[in-house]
Amino acid sequence: MRILGIDPGLATMGYGIIDIIDHKPVLVKAGAVITTPNMRMFERLKKINDDVRNLLALYKPDDIAFEELFFARNVTTALNVGAARGSALCACAAYTDQIYEYTPMQIKQAVTSYGLADKHQVQQMVKLMLKLPDIIRPDDAADAVAAALTHFNSGHMKSQFLMK
């Protein structure tokens, strides 16, 4: 099984791909889709959509796990990140219906056993779980890998997290 994890963002959308080999997760690729403020909004959304489509075509994941958006400090930021998430989601929906989502707390709980863990704790546990020499950079890519690991850990219960 191959799982693509996505941490939505407009400037930086993290992605992480893991394979499950002999019931153990193995990192395939982690990175980020980057857009810049000097790009027009539609150009940023198109780049996200195109890059996600390219990831799907290249890596052919079986399941896709999104980190659910969860913040309310700045309405403009929330709208922009929501648009970026929608752009990535449209690319994924054209590829498969096996799309799942997990809250940040569920991801932290699954990866660190503590739902209020900070970013550094999540990064360290991702590194340990995958037996990596270094933490994954950027942070958004590590978060995306954590989403993929959460999906793997959901096992037979994954249907509860199928995106509606």
Which are the catalytic amino acids? Answer: 7, 67, 140
Neighbours of 128 (CB within 10 A): 11
Terminal CA-CA length for the chain: 22
Say whether the peptide bond before residue 61 is cis (omega within 30 degrees of 0).
no
What DSSP state is assigned to residue 162? Answer: B
- Burial call 15-45: b when 16+ CB within 10 Å, e when fewer: bbbbbbeeeebebbebbbbebeeeeeeeebb
Q: Rounded to an integer, what distance in angstroms lies between the CA atom of residue 100 and that of residue 105?
A: 15
